[in-house]
Amino acid sequence: MIDTILDALARKKRILILVHNNPDPDAMSAALGMKHIIHKKLKKKVVIAYMGVVGRLENRELVRQCSIDMQPSFTLNFKRFDYIILVDTQPQAGNVYIPDTFSVNAVIDHHLVKKKLAKKDIIADVRPDYGSCSTIVTEYMQNLHIMPDKIVATALYYGIITDVIGQARDAYQADQRMLGFLFPYVAINKLKKIENPDLPRYHFKNLKRAIENSVIIDFLLFCDLGDVRNVDLIAETADYLTRMREVRCVFVMGKLDNIAYFSLRYKSTRRSVGLIAIRIVKGIGYGGGHTRSAGGQIPLSGKVYSEITALIRARLLKSLAIPQDAEGKPI
């Protein structure tokens, strides 16, 4: 597939790589890896762009340590680019900014295909059986006999472990192989700094609020954070609360800039929470994910957050086969 993409890029001059809104390590690292490949093989300039914020401390440290240069999408003149690649998302996912008059040329992703890609001439490499998009891009490098430098290798390695190990997803054989391929090139000191950044006071204030606002309903822990400082706090809180022994499923919700966001975690592979995420936002927002980890967003224009929270809670309980009248208990 990478050969097909490179053949198409050979005739292009200005290339744009777009990642999903509020990008996570996998999206940013995969984009950096693609930029590295295109530069090595074609010597072409590539711009990486995103919408939203890079909020989580580890994610900010990844950007700093690996010098990931990203531009806010809304500041770009899309007419300057003659080829657009989506990484770690799909056009119909609802979590990436693309002006209405512009089309995507290539898609590299590992999430379930929600709808058939509309354009037949889109080059699509979508692999739901891979744990991360960084794995796909690393495999491209291996197949092209490109040796990653320490910065790119460190980013891709961290992108894989956060999307597979960090999100409690099953590590597929491809992910394990590519971790082994990358490890000799990883800058261990940089990786340590990325994984263990100093935490600000608001991190602990958020944790206190999360514990106070959580209720346990049967095997589900449901947490409404309300207003959050950045979107990454929602996923970070979900990851932390999933460590609680007494629960099997964790749902954390919050809002920022008139959008409600949520993260969903499940310790077992009995259910695909990616499908649950799609189901609970049907008609009001966007959702998706994997077997054990998922998320989504709901635009709040014309809606009341408390009413949306109640609706999502009811739909979630139904999807998990928990009685609607089940009593919620504080932690």
At 169 the pLDDT is 54
Q: Is 319 within 8 Å of 288 (Cβ atoms)?
A: no
What CA–CA distances, in Å, run from 93 to 34, 45, 132, 215, 260?
21, 27, 17, 30, 16
CATH: 3.40.50.970, 3.10.310.30, 3.10.20.30, 3.30.70.260. Which one for 201-330? 3.10.310.30
For domain 2-195, the CATH architecture is: Alpha-Beta Complex (3.90)
Question: What predicted TM-score, i.e. pTM, was given to this entire model?
Answer: 0.74
Helix runs in the chain, H state only: 2-9, 25-42, 57-65, 133-144, 150-163, 173-182, 188-195, 201-212, 232-241, 273-280, 305-319
At 120 the pLDDT is 63
At 207 the pLDDT is 94
At 114 the pLDDT is 58
Q: Which helix (H) or strand (E) holds 259?
A: strand 259-266
pLDDT averaged per 10 residues in sequence order, the chain, 331 residues? 94 94 94 97 95 87 96 93 94 84 92 64 89 96 95 97 69 88 96 91 93 96 95 90 94 95 87 86 86 86 96 96 93 89
Q: Whole-angstrom Cα distance, residue 160 to residue 143? A: 18
Domain ranges of the chain: 2-195, 201-330
At 273 the pLDDT is 83
